């Protein structure tokens, strides 16, 4: 309980820093969830189209589109790692006196590490909470943004298909229904409603990913900081 009280007190004391870190978590979780939802939608479409026309050029195009989404996801993750690493460095520098105070209070290195990670976890939970609330409340805007991003990716390609249009129907379950006309072989793939469970599942995956990255970055940065300062104090 004392660790929780210290963590909450530190979060309240460093209000501006805590607000900014929570905003970073909120922004990246929302962005990554959107990309992951685009991947989910196109994956369902891809699997259905593969059953109907496994050797079509459109299937190859759809695979390339999925690879583009995965590449975009990796870029955003890499940018998060870079941003959070820089932010962690400034956070540790700002909390330097507080970390020294914990050392004087008898906190061991594992306890200091646990205390710092607990603070970061609180901020991650705040960012995740507001990300979930934001997406659910503004779900129609969220879906419209996903559709716009999907169309933008389609427009960036130079391929054109006369036998296929993009129209995917997602019902209350994360199943994609692809309607095909027996004469013209047109595929109607139109996003009408994105299930909340699909959004929450994507958000949960990203929370777990961001948590692991945060844990690794924070642990490494704080241990390096404590070791450097320990050597400096020994040299003095």
pLDDT surpassing 50 at residue 164: no
Q: Is 67 helix (H, G, I), strand (E, B) or coil?
A: helix
**Exposure class string for 125-142: b at 16+ Cβ within 10 A, else e:** ebbbebbbeebeeeeeeb
Residue length, the chain?
236
> What share of the chain in percent tops pLDDT 90?
35
193-222 pLDDT per residue, tens: 678 888 999 999 999 999 999 999 999 998
Mean pLDDT score, 159-164: 42
For the record, the structure tokens of 166 come out as 């993009």
User: Which residues are within 8 A (CB) of 18 and not within 5 positions of it... i.e. 6 or more apart?
Assistant: 11, 12, 123
Give the DSSP H or E segment for 169. strand 169-170
Instruction: Give, in degrees to the nearest 5, the angle at Cα 45 between 34 and 26.
Output: 5
pLDDT surpassing 90 at residue 230: no
- Answer yes or no: are the C-beta atoms of 49 and 168 closer than 8 Å: no
pLDDT surpassing 70 at residue 225: yes
* pLDDT at residue 144, as a whole number: 87
pLDDT tier at 188, thresholds 50, 70, 90? very low
Give the DSSP H or E segment for 199. helix 196-235
Q: Which residues pair with 177 in a beta bridge?
A: 169
**Residue 55 to residue 57: CA distance in whole angstroms:** 7
Mean pLDDT score, 155-179: 45
Among candidate residues 224, 212, 222, 205, the one with its CA nearest the CA of residue 39:
205
Q: Which residues pair with 109 in a beta bridge?
A: none
* Model pTM above 0.85: no
Give backbone dihedrals phi and psi of 203, rounded to 5 degrees, phi first.
Answer: -65, -40
First-to-final CA distance of the chain = 36
| Domain region containing 192 | 2-235
State the angle between helix axes of 96-104 and 109-137 in degrees (0 to 180), rounded to the nearest 10.
Answer: 130
For the record, the structure tokens of 87 come out as 């932010």
Give the DSSP H or E segment for 13. helix 2-13
Q: What is the count of structural domains for the chain?
A: 1
* pLDDT at residue 76, as a whole number: 97
Q: Where are the alpha helices (DSSP H) in 53-138?
A: 57-94, 96-104, 109-137
């Amino acid at each position: 309980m004392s660790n929780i009280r210290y963590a909450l007190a530190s979060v309240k004391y460093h209000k501006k820093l805590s607000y900014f870190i929570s905003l970073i978590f909120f922004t990246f979780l929302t962005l990554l969830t959107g990309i992951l939802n685009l991947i989910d939608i196109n994956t369902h479409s891809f699997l259905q189209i593969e059953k109907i026309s496994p050797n079509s050029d459109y299937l190859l195009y759809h695979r390339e589109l999925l690879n583009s989404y995965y590449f975009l996801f990796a870029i955003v993750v890499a940018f998060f790692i870079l941003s959070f690493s820089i932010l962690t460095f400034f956070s540790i520098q700002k909390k330097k006196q507080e970390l020294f105070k914990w050392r004087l209070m008898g906190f061991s290195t594992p306890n200091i590490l646990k205390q710092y990670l607990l603070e970061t976890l609180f901020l991650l939970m705040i960012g995740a909470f507001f990300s979930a609330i934001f997406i659910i409340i503004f779900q129609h805007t969220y879906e419209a943004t996903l559709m716009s991003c999907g169309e933008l990716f389609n427009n960036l390609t130079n391929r054109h298909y006369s036998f296929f249009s993009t129209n995917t129907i997602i019902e209350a379950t994360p199943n994609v229904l692809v309607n095909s006309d027996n004469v013209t072989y047109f595929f109607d793939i139109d996003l009408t409603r994105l299930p909340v469970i699909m959004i929450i599942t994507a958000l949960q995956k990203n929370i777990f990913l961001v948590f692991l990255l945060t844990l690794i970055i924070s642990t490494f940065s704080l241990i390096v900081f404590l070791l450097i300062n320990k050597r400096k104090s020994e040299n003095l």
